[in-house]
Amino acid sequence: MHDPSCIFCKIIAGQIPSKKVYEDDDVFAFHDINPWAPVHFLLVPKQHIPSMAQVGPEHERLLGKMLLLAPRLAAEQGCNPYPEGGFRIVCNTGAEGGQEVHHLHIHVMGGPRPWVRG
């Protein structure tokens, strides 16, 4: 369930400090250390799943929960309402997908333009 060498598993366990956005039994959310946008947080399962390349039917409820949480947490973190506001969801997968941390995570980015990147 946990990978002792994984930086996000350590963040979830509180072994590495983070700015927490949300936590429940299944998921953890925290601000990205290097934000691209005024709002930029990461939503991760507590279970160590390396990426979207490893998900299966057993993760349907978990993935649904994460996708439903994203708009709620985005609004709570200050993203402006749709359609003038909104947010971006990104899930980098694998080296060619731009994934650097191999613990499944959804980036949620938003807030007034311009952004640092993206």
Q: Which residues are catalytic?
A: 105
Q: Is 77 in the site for ligand 5GP (CB under 6 A)?
A: no
DSSP-derived pairing of the beta strands 39-45 and 27-31: antiparallel
103 makes contact, choosing from ligand 5GP, Zn ion, none, with CB < 5 to 8 Å by partner type, with Zn ion
Q: Which does 32 bind (CB under 5 to 8 A by kind): ligand 5GP, Zn ion, none?
A: ligand 5GP
99 binds, among ligand 5GP, Zn ion, none (CB under 5 to 8 A by kind): ligand 5GP
- Give the one residue of 4, 5, 100, 114 binding ligand 5GP; rule: CB under 6 A: 100
Task: Please state, in angstroms and rounded to a whole number, the distance separating the CA atoms of residues 90 and 108.
Answer: 7
Binding site for ligand 5GP (CB under 6 A): 7, 16, 18, 30-34, 42, 92, 98-101
